[in-house]
Amino acid sequence: MTTPRYCFPHKHLLGIEPLSPQDITALLDQAEAFEEVCERPDIKIVPALRKRMVVNLFFENSTRTRNSFEIAEKRLSAEIINFDADTSSLSKGETLIDTALNLEAMHPDLIVMRHSAPGAHALLARHMKASIINAGDGAHEHPTQALLDAYTLRQRFGRLEGLKIAIVGDIRHSRVVRSNLWLLTKMGAKVTLVGPPTLLPTELKDTWPMVDISYDLDAVIPDMDAIMMLRAQFERGTGQFIPGQGEYIRYYQINADRIKRAKKDVAIMHPGPMNRGFEITSEVADGPNNVILEQVTNGVPVRMAVLYLLSNPHGEQVP
Ligand code: NCD
């Protein structure tokens, strides 16, 4: 008897929550196949999305994610439309659904969207034929960031299961943490959330009871395989939740002194953009344990894998 071929069962990537461990592994394996394409010295392009139209719809600022998606789309030979929210009719009062239906009339195959409203993607998915990819929705999810984080960890440690990972900082406002919580717990990693009580909502335990919560970074550090620092999101009001920057730095900044107490091969991660000198010192951000630019590099094959498997669910491993 032959085993039935795996078929990626999702039309959209709205978050990590709906994915099974098998789906996550399929995406990471596919990304590995694409990494070879990205590392070619000459032509880094495959025809996998030829004649498919991808619309990039960014309603919130983005540097890494937007560029990374665009590079991924180019490497797959897609046709790309960049929709600029500032100069669009949205600024004239058009609703998101009207904008979306007008885009739909141009028959795009995939829409990559970043939006400040949690759930905006699910709304679009109900109204459109195209596949919707969530590139960040408010403080809800950022699934491709969690996938590239997992890819980076798997590359470094050869596995996700059993890894001990601390996620540190502004947990309250972070969509990166929510996608990582879904992904890492589904894949059997052991997660500890660390931050000041005001930035660490204990309700997260209702959804993820297996996760540990700590307010003491120094106590947590020695046991960790990876430490994922989060950006303090001052534009979302983080300043109101901490007594002062000095106090935050004293207890929650990752710096050279704290690294001395960590495992020798601990991986220091950050989704970017970093507040250098606040949640992380430059010494650590540029030091030997950081994998921060590897995360950025890995974003491209991971996003290629997402675009590809949503459009080709049978996912033959592209040469
Ligand atoms: C994150 C984001 O925008 O959610 N950055 C990113 O996508 N690389 C994290 C952040 O803004 O702090």
- Cβ neighbour number for residue 310 with a 10 Å cutoff: 21
First to last CA, the chain: 27
**CA geometry: angle 293, 262, 147, nearest 5 deg:** 40
Q: Judging by DSSP bridges, how do beta strands 190-194 and 164-168 pair with one another?
A: parallel
List the alpha helices (DSSP H) in 7-163.
21-38, 64-75, 96-104, 120-127, 143-157
Instruction: State residue 229's pLDDT score.
Output: 98
Atom of ligand 1 nearest to the CA of 170: 12
Instruction: State residue 263's pLDDT score.
Output: 98
Instruction: State residue 142's pLDDT score.
Output: 98
Q: Judging by DSSP bridges, how do beta strands 131-137 and 212-214 pair with one another?
A: unpaired
Q: Mind listing the pLDDT tens digit of every residue in the chain (319 residues)?
A: 666 678 999 999 999 999 999 999 999 999 999 999 899 888 889 999 999 999 999 998 898 999 999 999 999 999 999 987 766 666 667 788 888 888 888 899 999 999 999 989 999 999 899 999 999 999 999 999 999 999 999 999 999 999 999 999 999 999 999 999 999 999 999 999 999 999 999 999 999 999 999 999 999 999 999 999 999 998 888 888 988 899 999 999 999 999 999 999 999 999 999 999 999 999 999 999 999 999 999 999 999 999 999 998 776 555 4
Across-strand partners of 76? none
Atom of ligand 1 nearest to the CA of 135: 7
Q: Does the beta carbon of 119 sit less than 6 angstroms from any atom of ligand 1?
A: no
- Cβ neighbour number for residue 202 with a 10 Å cutoff: 9
* 273 CA from centroid of ligand 1 (Å): 7
pTM: 0.95
* 6 CA from centroid of ligand 1 (Å): 32
**CA geometry: angle 92, 94, 96, nearest 5 deg:** 135
Q: Does the beta carbon of 66 sit less than 6 angstroms from any atom of ligand 1?
A: no
* 105 CA from centroid of ligand 1 (Å): 31
Strands of the sheet with 79-84, listed across from one edge: 79-84, 53-58, 110-115, 131-137
Structure tokens at 180: 């990582």
For 67-111, the DSSP string reads: HHHHHHHHHTT-EEEEEEGGGSGGGGT--HHHHHHHHHTT--SEE
Distance CA 298, CA 38 (A): 10
Q: Does the beta carbon of 176 sit less than 6 angstroms from any atom of ligand 1?
A: yes
Instruction: State residue 4's pLDDT score.
Output: 66
Task: Pick from 115, 134, 142, 236 the residue to mutate for probing ligand 1's pocket: most ligand atoms within 8 Å of its CB.
Answer: 142
Distance CA 143, CA 201 (A): 21
Q: Does the beta carbon of 140 sit less than 6 angstroms from any atom of ligand 1?
A: no
Instruction: State residue 287's pLDDT score.
Output: 98
Distance CA 70, CA 52 (A): 14
SS3 (DSSP) at 201 = coil
Q: Does the beta carbon of 65 sit less than 6 angstroms from any atom of ligand 1?
A: yes
- Cβ neighbour number for residue 145 with a 10 Å cutoff: 27
Atom of ligand 1 nearest to the CA of 60: 3
Instruction: State residue 44's pLDDT score.
Output: 84
